[in-house]
Amino acid sequence: MKITFLGHSACLVETRDHHLLIDPFITGNSMSTFQADDISCDFILLTHGHADHFGDTEALAKRNDATVIANFELAGYCETKGLKNHPMHIGGSASFPFGEVKLTIAHHGSSLPGPDGLPIYLGEPAGILIKAEGKTIYHAGDTGLFLDMQLIGQMNTIDVALLPIGDNFTMGPEDALKAIEFLRPKKVIPIHYNTFPPIEKDPNEFAQAANLCNTEAIVLESGQSIEV
Ligand code: NI
Ligand code: MN
């Protein structure tokens, strides 16, 4: 399995037969080196509805005839846009042709601006556990630190955790280090930093601190991949 970082919280997970996009915010993403038109996928997994995560979902799902996997409310929003979708909710798992997905809690918001500019609330935000080809990936989405990460770590052997470090809207680096202690992943990829001024953080500083906690932290530039 291969994970390619697309900048911000967006990544592409490639299994032998499937391309999964998580939080495909490409257009307008200052950290991305990609064009949404060049990306192919058959599933799109969304942690929550904020524009920097929902991103290019509508265009990508339509062009690729991809299925959007998201919480019930956000999947319902996708339904109104004519997108194929599979609704789930926190604590639930489901099997897909590529493997298994479970939604976890995340402490954050989830909305998109409606026609009058007021937010349309899109249910609870989530983290995503993906189990495929014998490996487990945890994408935390946008969240603050929470103690139940201990439970996620106890119940899963996480090969790669993608954790936000940008602060302001999510965990900052210090809390992300605590998250590593709770989750005990083999590898960590920092996400959700440097895209906008309020979330400017040095990922290498975070990586050094994580390495001191005996977790291999990997800072990826947009377009770089790791094999899991
Ligand atoms: Ni958000
Ligand atoms: Mn965000």
Residue 96: is its pLDDT beyond 90?
yes
14-29 average pLDDT score: 98
Ligand 2 center to 153 CA (angstroms)? 23
97-111 average pLDDT score: 98
Contacts of 117 (CB under 8 A, 6+ apart): none
Q: What is the CATH number of the domain that holds 157?
A: 3.60.15.10
The pTM of this model reads: 0.98
Please tell me the predicted confidence (pLDDT) of residue 56: 98
Tell me if 227 is assigned to some domain.
no
Tell me if 228 is assigned to some domain.
no
Please tell me the predicted confidence (pLDDT) of residue 213: 84
Contacts of 154 (CB under 8 A, 6+ apart): none
Domain count, the chain: 1
Tell me if 226 is assigned to some domain.
no
Q: What angle do CA 192, 137, 26 make, to 5 degrees?
A: 40
pLDDT tens per residue across span 138-150: 999 999 999 999 9
Mean per-residue pLDDT of the chain: 97
101-122 average pLDDT score: 96
pLDDT tens per residue across span 144-170: 999 999 999 999 999 999 999 999 999
Please tell me the predicted confidence (pLDDT) of residue 88: 98
Ligand 1 center to 99 CA (angstroms)? 26
Ligand 2 center to 191 CA (angstroms)? 10
Ligand 1 center to 17 CA (angstroms)? 30
Label the pairing between strands 126-132 and 11-14: unpaired
* Rounded CA separation 118/99 (Å): 37
- Of the listed ligands, the closest to the CA of 166 is 2
**Burial (0-12, 13-18, 19+ Cβ within 10 Å), 91:** exposed
Ion ligand 1 residues within 5 Å by Cβ = 50, 142
194-209 average pLDDT score: 97
Tell me if 145 is assigned to some domain.
yes
**Domain carrying residue 130:** 2-221
- Of the listed ligands, the closest to the CA of 109 is 1
Ligand 1 center to 20 CA (angstroms)? 20
Cβ(32)–Cβ(26) under 8 Å?
yes
Q: How confident is the model at residue 214 (pLDDT cuts 50, 70, 90)?
A: confident
